[in-house]
A and B are shown apart, each in its own frame.
Chain A
Amino acid sequence: MTRLPRVLFDVKTADTCRWRRCDGREFVLREWEDGAVLYDAASGDTHHLSLAAAQVLQHLHNQPSTLEGLATGMLSSGQEAADGQTFLALEALVEHLNKLGLIEKSIEPEKH
């Protein structure tokens, strides 16, 4: 699985909003070494995704997460943080998945 590069992450730019996979939607995800496809049972649509997008969806399948949480969760072992550029790429990716109707902002109150 593709991991985000070993870079520093600027937490000051992080959005505190939490993301989750769309409620009640059934997805089937298949990954190969060079990309992934996802079947959305509700719409019948099939999406061609990057491995990073697949990784985001898998991460959000387990639990809702902020961008910061996603970035941390997707770092490969031994990495400590992601840089601003990587974070912006992740933000764009999340926005794209949101536009596709695969993820949405979580309405759960944030736990402190």
Chain B
Amino acid sequence: MKKASNLKSIEPRLNVSSFTPSEITHALKREGIHLSVGTYTIHLQSAIPSVSESISLLYADYPLNEDTSFADFHVSINHPRNVRRWIHPQAIFRIETYEPFKPLPADQAYPLLEWGLNWCVSTQYHRYLVVHAAVVEKNGRAMILPAPPGSGKSTLCAALVLRGWRLLSDELTLVSLNDMQIVPMCRPISLKNESIPIIQKYDESVTMSRPSFDTNKGTVAHMKAPKESIQRVRETAPPAWIVFPKYQPGTAAKLDKFSKASAFMGVAANAFNYSMLGAQGFQTVSKLIDRCDCYEFSYSNLDEAISMFDRLAQQ
């Protein structure tokens, strides 16, 4: 396998796609790879083929960090060392030597990795307010979409980025405590159940992982983030809108102003570290609400939704 550090003078930076899938599989099995995802670096090791397959596919445009002496998160996903290696094999996620979750069926290894990485950020990144929300950007302004599971947040986020909005994150919004900028954490978009064929139909050129069935969220597949969003992953954006989306079958798209105090409570309820940050969490959410127009949004048709948000972005 080519060494990123040896080729520094020839190529400014090597991406995952600089290597063949078999080279990635080999590296993952042995010493692991150092993936650079915007503000953080992941050292990932895995001997599970579905993981290396998904990494080669969905992380193709991500740079490999040349400095392998440091990583924010040292994670691995492997088969547990027990009889389940051979009978109904499982996968276990580790950060260093800690196992935050119970093993899952090996078919769910890749989604487990993504969930594990979300867990790493949401439990350890306290220099940010970490909100369970998708966040996208257009014309230099960020739109935050906090919502509970089942609200259609990720489907809407996927559709927006397929129509030109920049993906900052589909799952975790990082609000800098210093300057209130939204810090991108652009990774593959997690889609569930009916959303998978809806997005595949919405844009037939979309790149998606092989689905994992019977997870605790149903069927799960991950959509590759647009190349431009990955290239701009270090570019922060100021927050401009907070939109609470709700998928309501058969209804026309409707965007209503939302009370700022209610929006505050909605953001706080979706922030993983709001209580931990104490008064600083309160002040940060207050500033976020001050800087944003807040809306409730219901929709059933993605095109209607996109056109409504595009109009908002032009104002």
**B261 touching A36 by the CB < 8 A rule?**
yes
Q: Report yes or no: B282 in contact with A46, Cβ–Cβ below 8 A.
A: yes
A50 to B259, CA, bound (A): 11
How distant is the Cα of A49 from the Cα of B261 in the complex, in angstroms? 8
Note all chain B residues with C-beta closer than 8 A to A33.
Answer: 260
Q: Which 10 A-B pairs have the closest CB atoms?
A: A35-B261, A32-B260, A39-B282, A34-B259, A30-B286, A37-B264, A48-B265, A35-B259, A37-B261, A48-B261
A41, CB-defined interface residue at 8 Å? yes
Q: Is the interface of A mostly helix, strand, loop or mixed?
A: strand
Q: 15 interchain pairs (CB within 8 A)?
A: A30-B282, A30-B286, A32-B259, A32-B261, A32-B289, A33-B260, A34-B260, A35-B259, A35-B262, A37-B261, A37-B264, A37-B265, A37-B282, A44-B275, A49-B261
A/B pair count, beta carbons within 8 Å: 40
Asked if B87 CB lies within 8 Å of chain A CBs, one says: no
Residue B268 at the chain A interface, CB threshold 8 Å:
yes
Query: Which chain B residues numbered 258 to 283 have a C-beta less than 8 Å away from chain A?
Result: 259-262, 264-265, 268, 274-275, 278-279, 282-283
Q: How many chain B residues have a CB neighbour from A under 8 Å?
A: 15
Q: How large is the interface on A (under 10, 10 to 19, 20 to 34, 35 or more residues)?
A: 10 to 19
A34 to B289, CA, bound (A): 13
User: Considering only CB atoms, which chain A residue lies closest to B275 in the complex?
Assistant: A44
Q: In the docked arrangement, what's the CA distance between A35 and B286, Å? A: 13
Inside 8 A of B282's CB, which chain A residues have their CB? 28, 30, 37, 39, 46
CA A41 – CA B279 in complex, angstroms?
A: 7
